[in-house]
Amino acid sequence: MKSNTKKYGVDILILGLSALTAYGIVGIFYMLLKIDMGALPLLAQTLVGAFCEFGLMGLGVVIICIRNKESFKSFGLKKEKLLLTIVLSALSCLPSFLLHLFTNEHISYFPLQNVNFTKPVLAAGFPVNVIGMLIIAVTWGFFEGFSYVVMSDRINKLFPSKSLWTDRGAIICGIFCLVVHMLLGQSYSMIGAVTEFILIYGMLVSYRYTGNAWGCVLIFLFYWSGIGY
């Protein structure tokens, strides 16, 4: 029991340190070389941004899986209860969607359109647009959604809760998401913060209930950065 507790604690530490390391490397890289991002080719700009995003939401997950010899499938990337987890995860998006719908005169939708690199990449010619969108989908879509699954799983292993509704992993990840995005410059109204928390909390509770993580991944691929106005 103690060895498992130590393992899960180390896993959470890995998630944090990998994020700090990735951002530190990029920061030092810029300070030493003084590179103007705008002067880089579009794919290079996208790769630098993807490296930062992957460092925050991806690298730690890969290290954990390699270290513990765990597959992505062991965290719920499977076919069983796929439809149920998609429906439940979609319901967790409903408050956020309704807020967008009723507080903006016009809204648009395209998967991942709010990622800074998406529109320039789409406007670029082949093969830059295809390669760029693949990088964006894997990094800001798959790994961001899947990282919340792994983070929540490890928190719940360390601090288990009997009740589904008091799932500590879902609650902490919901707060973490809001804090990180505010630190990155995103502002929220009170109701906006509540709806975003419900989204993260709801998708992770759905994952715990069904054991299927695809709902979390699909939210970040098709909804999270897809609503524009």
Query: Mind listing the pLDDT tens digit for each residue in 190-205?
Result: 898 999 999 999 999 9
The single-letter DSSP state of residue 125 is: P
pLDDT value, residue 36:
67
DSSP 8-class letter at 227: E
Select from 172, 227, 164 the least CA-distant residue to 200. 172
- pLDDT digits over 1-60, tens only? 556 788 899 999 999 898 888 777 777 766 665 666 667 889 998 998 898 889 889 999
Q: What is the mean pLDDT of the chain?
A: 90
pTM of the model: 0.91
> What is the model's pLDDT at position 23?
73
**Mean pLDDT over residues 56-65, rounded?**
93
From the list 26, 113, 17, the residue with the least C-alpha distance to 59 is 17
Query: Residue 2 has what pLDDT?
Result: 58
Q: Where are the domains of the chain?
A: 2-228
How far from 159 is each of 18, 83, 166, CA to CA, in Å?
A: 22, 29, 11
Q: Is the pLDDT of residue 186 over 80?
A: no
pLDDT for the residue 162? 87
The strand pairing partners of 227, in sequence order, are 109
